[in-house]
Structure 1
Amino acid sequence: MKPLRLGVLASGSGTNFAALAEAIAQDQLPAQIHVLIYNNPKAKVAERAQAWKIPAELLNHRDFPSREALDEAIVRVLQAYDVDWVVMAGWMRIVTPVLLQAYSDRVINLHPSLLPSFKGLHAVEQALAAGVKITGCTVHLVSLEVDSGPILAQAAVPILAGDTPEKLHQRIQVQEHQILKQAIAQIAKNQGDF
């Protein structure tokens, strides 16, 4: 099976990036991360990429006049690194048709809620504020509507008495690492049928 050629978009600490790199290094996934694109100059994910010897490209969204201009630059980098699937793992930017047309049905996103509940920013805080007993995480194909698109994998995480956003987010991250690997393994298995 030909490994999936992945480009990862991330904005923060990069725990999901690291979990993905680790799974690939341990031959748990038929994939290769060809490039990391990050938009925050202080993002710790860049250090993780360096540790894994994975090329990292900073595309600071503040340097672009529009979301479309940023996505045009993203597409150029992804194409330069011969990427065939895009993984948004903690990418805190809304994407445009520029990216979605270049990688039609080949962009996935990881979101810290059981979609369609708690879309958008601060999903963990939204779940706590709503008083629900269960939340979780979702991997889905990206569509133009934020945090929409066909769901590929989900995992439930109970909300415990005394949970803070930080405690709950840590438990959700454990599940995020698992479902991201599951979704990519399924994509690899079905490549050509997708």
Structure 2
Amino acid sequence: MLRLVVLISGGGSNLRALLEASEDAEFPARVVAIGADRDADGLAHGEEYGIPTFVVPFGAFPTREQWGAELLAQVRQWDADLVILSGFMRLLPPAVVSALAPNLLNTHPAYLPEFPGAHGVRDALAAGVSETGASVIVVDDGIDSGPIVAQRRVPVLPGDTESRLHDRIKLVERELLVQVVLDIANSHIDLKDL
């Protein structure tokens, strides 16, 4: 059984998908803790599912490195097999990435390497492309530049707004993330080989 720690900054919709998948006794992974860099709405999922939560507020530390050291200390308490950044909107310091990689995953609302960064959906619309996508990657020290674990295309429809397109991408992100966790648990994906 894979032990997952999920880090969030917002509502935790991808986290919710993992929690719902793990309600099936056959699903080979369980979220053991939920962490955030702020008082995120998605922490309520922890209360609902009886999963411990922790917050390491970015602004409470004088440097990003000190914040990262405390975040890593919190994560390590849970003996996780995988750490998943799920809408976690902070760049991790290199020391944290090297401590957790390659078992450190992130979801991104674009078909990487297209449209990396915090505004992938907006950037895709601005570029006028006919399709974008969703990706699950191994986190490295770059911005959305790590090895791609899985991805799927999502069409951009006429009249799409950023919100409407992002909602469709999130559905695909959730499916991809749950499948990737399943494939890692069943040894169909070995993150060390990517």
Q: Find out whether 1:39 has 2:34 as its counterpart.
A: no
Output the CA distance in 2 between the equivalents of 1:190 and 1:82: 19
Q: 1:29 touches 1:184 (CA, 8 Å); kept in 2?
A: no
Tell me which residue corresponds to 1:141.
138
Off by >6 Å, runs of 4+ in structure 1: none
Tell me which residue corresponds to 1:179.
176
Aligned length: 191
Structure 2 CA distance for partners of 1:82 and 1:171, relative to 1, 3 Å? same
Cα displacement (A) at 1:75: 1.2
TM-score norm. by structure 2 comes to 0.94
Q: 1:5 touches 1:34 (CA, 8 Å); kept in 2?
A: yes
Tell me which residue corresponds to 1:112.
109
Larger displacement relative to structure 2 (27-36 or 91-100): 27-36
Runs of 5+ consecutive residues of structure 2 not aligned to the other structure:
none
Cα displacement (A) at 1:74: 1.4
Output the CA distance in 2 between the equivalents of 1:89 and 1:39: 12
Structure 2 CA distance for partners of 1:117 and 1:28, relative to 1, 3 Å? farther
Q: 1:39 touches 1:61 (CA, 8 Å); kept in 2?
A: yes
Letter in 2 for 1:138: S
CA RMSD in angstroms, aligned pairs only: 1.5
Cα displacement (A) at 1:191: 8.3
Q: Find out whether 1:163 has 2:160 as its counterpart.
A: yes
Output the CA distance in 1 between the equivalents of 2:166 and 2:189: 35
Q: Find out whether 1:132 has 2:129 as its counterpart.
A: yes
Output the CA distance in 1 between the equivalents of 2:165 and 2:171: 10
TM-score norm. by structure 1 comes to 0.94
Output the CA distance in 1 between the equivalents of 2:188 and 2:61: 34
Output the CA distance in 1 between the equivalents of 2:37 and 2:188: 29
- Choose the corresponding residue for 1:50, options 47, 66, 69: 47
Q: Find out whether 1:84 has 2:58 as its counterpart.
A: no
Runs of 5+ consecutive residues of structure 1 not aligned to the other structure:
none
Q: 2:135 touches 2:151 (CA, 8 Å); kept in 1?
A: yes
Larger displacement relative to structure 2 (169-178 or 80-89): 80-89
Tell me which residue corresponds to 1:25.
23
- Choose the corresponding residue for 2:150, options 139, 144, 153: 153
Q: 2:183 touches 2:189 (CA, 8 Å); kept in 1?
A: no
